[in-house]
Amino acid sequence: MKTSLALIALLLPGAALAQDAQLDPVAPMAEYKLYVAEHTQELVADTRAFTEAVKAGDIDKAKSLFAPTRLHYEMIEPVAELFSDLDVSIDSRADDHEGAEQDPGFTGFHRIEYALWEKNSTEGMAPVADKLMADVEDLAGRIEGLTFPPQVVVGGAAVLMEEVAATKISGEEDRYSHTDLWDFRGNFDGARKIVELFRPHVEDQDFLATVDTNFARVDETLEKYREGEGYQTYDKLTDEDRRVLAAAVNTLAEDLATLRGRVGLD
Amino acid sequence: MTDSHAPRSMTPMLVGAGALAVAGLVAFAWAARTNAPQPVDGALQVAVTETACAPMALTVPAGPASFVIRNDSSRPLEWEILDGVMVVAERENIAPGFTATLTERLKPGTYQITCGLLSNPRGTLTVTATAASEAARTAPPLAEFIGPLSEMQVRLIQAGAALERDAKGLADAIAAGDLGAARTAYATARADWARLGTATARASDLVNRMSPTAAMLAGREGDPGFTGFHRIEYGLWSQGSTEGLEPVARSLAEDAGALRTRLREITLAPADIAGDAARLARHLAEGQVRQGVNLYSGQDAAEFAAALDGLAGAAQVLSPLVTAAAPEAAARVQAEIDRTRTAIDAMTADPSPAARDRVAHGFTALAGALDALNPALGLET
């Protein structure tokens, strides 16, 4: 038996290599890219509707499309933010720029958010909307052509949770519209997708149970604030729920930081 | 740094959440300290001030490297290592006055480092080659193939989904009795099929139903085994009608669905990417290109162009590794792809034997160039 197996291995080096546990991440990485591709398509379609509403001066419609459009961006953020130039032009906040809201480099979703909620106007937003649409299409093209770097993508789930834990939890991301809970939903779903895909290759069941518990806690908390298709504004979040959310996210950030190593990608 | 604990970026509406955010940062800084991979010896120190990194230029040998980043500015800091516009590694949200450690395995090359505000100049990180990194360049470790293998699988699954969709479209056009639309739909679905050429050899049972040629069957066009693409092509072109083709097209669409499922389950080994591509190129050169594939419609140029797209995709997936290991091998593959494409573009609807010869020579030369890739990557073939 041993001899015949060895013989097969000699005749089919490919087949022998394919069994190597080091290649376990291949299938989950492929599935993850298919997931990202699906949401990128939705992001492109939704951004088109959003930017058209902005250009048409339809403030109410633009406001109603802002959060649902961003949801897809937040889901694919571990990949989207790998393109540093587009991450800035699509998703930077005013305080990433020296001149804050007045800085000409402040573009993208949050620039339009500022106009819609703070100014209740779309004045001067047509070129910003055109640029956002072009940037999102550019992003879609780059994602399609990108061979996902496994270490960075799996590490990205943790980076995203760290970002939620450290800054997003303050409500800084959607500071004009307070639609942060939608973004959280996207970030959690995007991070959880990575965990789900790699789950079969994680040995430590206690680790998985803890991660599941914290994701469930996040779900329960977010569910309390569900309103229609989406969520209430962030200022409705009680201090107690904010504490629950913060604790769950901190633990998730801490736990997911070890995922890369657990699936052999360190 | 007298103001390092007075973040000026906090907008008034965030003040209520400010205390929590700081608590979050502290908790996170603690978590990061306890969970980060162990820093390697000789960690590099880099401080980020309001306007720059100190120092602005870093040099490390290839392999695992640790960076201890100290935030000497007044804003939460995100520190990134960039390769062009791509983020290679990053530490998010280092609070003012805090330090964080980033440990990452780096390949030789010149990278940029970010230094706070977007308008601040970027520093440089030079990663120098070592004996180990040189060895890994010409014989990449198995883990280096995770990216290319998964990308190859993604492309096949997406092409399979396109085939399933377009085969349904073909069946619908036939059901509607629209000959013109059915002919267009045939061409679209057939191109999807050709693009999958590197993988269909792994599903011979489906291939025998989806694309048998009359020449292989005892009863030729009248044989009950004459099903799939060419049966439909025969009807649409030779008989000029959609009549009786709907069940054939529905079966084809069903098989396309089965093929898509099969593609999700294929496990490719590193050597299969170039190996399957070389095999297909040779197969095309030795048979289909000279004998013709779409005998009734004469649409061979589109078929070979799509097959070439599939081969180019395989080469592209391996390109980063091959370019690092053996740039001349990568360049030769690209040159043969270009030459073959030119020969295909010159094919007419009823190509001369000489025109077919030129395309066949192109695929043969491409197969030879693809054969060189696995040895260049230290893979046994």
pLDDT of B195-222, one tens digit each?
Answer: 999 998 888 899 999 999 999 899 999 9
Task: Decide if A6 is inside a domain.
Answer: no
DSSP-derived secondary structure letter, B288: I
Q: Is the pLDDT of residue B40 over 90?
A: no
Residue range of the domain that includes A214: 149-265
pLDDT at B22 over 80: no
Q: Is residue A100 domain-resident?
A: yes
* Residue A70 to chain B, least CA–CA distance (Å): 21
Cβ–Cβ gap B146/A169 under 8 Å: no
Cβ–Cβ < 8 Å for B34, A175: no
Indicate the pTM of the whole model. Answer: 0.86
Mean pLDDT, to the nearest integer, of B100-113?
Answer: 93
Contact yes or no for A253/A161 (Cβ under 8 A)? yes
Q: Is the pLDDT of residue A153 over 60?
A: yes
Check whether B5 has a pLDDT greater than 80: no
Q: Indicate the class that CATH gives domain B142-376.
A: mainly alpha
- In angstroms, the separation between the Cα of residue B207 and the nearest Cα of chain A is 22
Residues A164 and A88 in one domain: no
pLDDT tens-digit readout, A114-131: 999 999 999 999 999 999
Last residue of a domain, one of A147, A182, A203: A147
Q: In angstroms, what is the C-alpha Rg of chain B? A: 28
**Which of chain B's residues have a Cβ under 8 Å away from the Cβ of A243?**
20
Tokens of B354: 């000489």
In a domain, A140, yes or no: yes
- Residues A209-237: tens digit of each pLDDT: 999 999 999 999 999 999 998 999 999 99
- Report residue A155's pLDDT band, with 50, 70 and 90 as the boundaries: confident
Q: How confident is the model at residue B19 (pLDDT cuts 50, 70, 90)?
A: very low
pLDDT at B60: 95
Sheet containing B44-48: order of strands? B53-54, B44-48, B63-71, B99-106
Decide if A13 is inside a domain: no
Q: Is residue A7 part of a domain?
A: no
Tokens of A53: 């509403």
Residues A133 and A238 in one domain: no
Please name the residues in contact with B159: beta carbons below 8 A apart, sequence gap of 6 or more: B192, B195, B196, B263, B310
> What DSSP line would sit under B65-127, residue for residue?
EEEEEEE-SSS-EEEEEEETTEEEEEEEEEPTT-EEEEEEEE-SEEEEE--SSTTSPPEEEEE
Instruction: Please report the pLDDT score of residue B25 as a whole number.
Output: 45
If pLDDT is split at 50, 70 and 90, which confidence band does B131 have? very high
Model pLDDT, residue B14: 41
Strands B53-54 and B77-83: unpaired
Please judge whether B150 and A148 are an interchain contact, meaning their C-beta atoms are less than 8 angstroms apart.
yes
Least confident of A40-44, B21-25, B337-341: B21-25
* Domain end position, chosen among A100, A117, A147: A147
User: How much is the pLDDT for B17?
Assistant: 43
Domain boundary among A80, A115, A147: A147
Going by pLDDT thresholds of 50, 70 and 90, the confidence category of residue B183 is very high
pLDDT, residue A62, reads 98
What is the percentage of chain B residues whose pLDDT exceeds 70?
Answer: 90
Whether A31 is covered by a domain: the verdict is yes
Mean pLDDT of chain A: 90
Q: How many domains does chain A have?
A: 2
Q: What is the pLDDT of residue B381?
A: 58
Say how far residue B301 (Cα) sits from the centre of its chain.
25
Q: Are residues A160 and A171 in the same domain?
A: yes
pLDDT confidence bin for A21, thresholds 50/70/90: confident
Identify the pLDDT of residue B38: 64
CATH topology agreement for domains B44-129 and B142-376: no
Maximal C-alpha separation, chain B: 91
The number of CA neighbours under 13 Å toward the Cβ of B348 is 5
Domain ranges, ordered by start, for chain B: 44-129, 142-376
Beta bridge partners of B124: B57, B112
The CATH number covering residue A29 comes to 1.20.1420.20
For residue A250, the chain B residues in CB contact (below 8 A) are: 24, 27-28, 31
* Domain-located, residue A39: yes
Q: Are residues A192 and A226 in the same domain?
A: yes
pLDDT more than 90, % of chain A: 79
Going by their DSSP bridges, the two strands B123-128 and B57-61 should be labelled as parallel
A140 lies in the same domain as A167: no
Contact between chains at A33 and B150 (C-beta distance less than 8 A): yes
Return the CATH architecture of domain B44-129: Sandwich (2.60)
Q: What is the pLDDT of residue B42?
A: 81
Do the Cβ atoms of B34 and A264 come within 8 Å?
Answer: no
Taken in order A178, A181, A183, A187, is the CA torsion positive or negative? positive
Question: Is any Cβ of chain B less than 8 angstroms from the Cβ of A246?
Answer: yes
| CB spacing of A175 vs B23 below 8 angstroms | no
How many angstroms separate the CA atoms of B13 and A148, rounded? 38
B96's tokens: 């003012």
The mean of the pLDDT values for chain B is: 89
Task: Identify the bridge partners of residue B82 per DSSP, sorted by sequence position.
Answer: B87, B112
Are residue A174 and residue A233 in the same domain, yes or no? yes
ipTM for the predicted complex comes to 0.88
In a domain, A255, yes or no: yes
Per-residue pLDDT, B32: 42
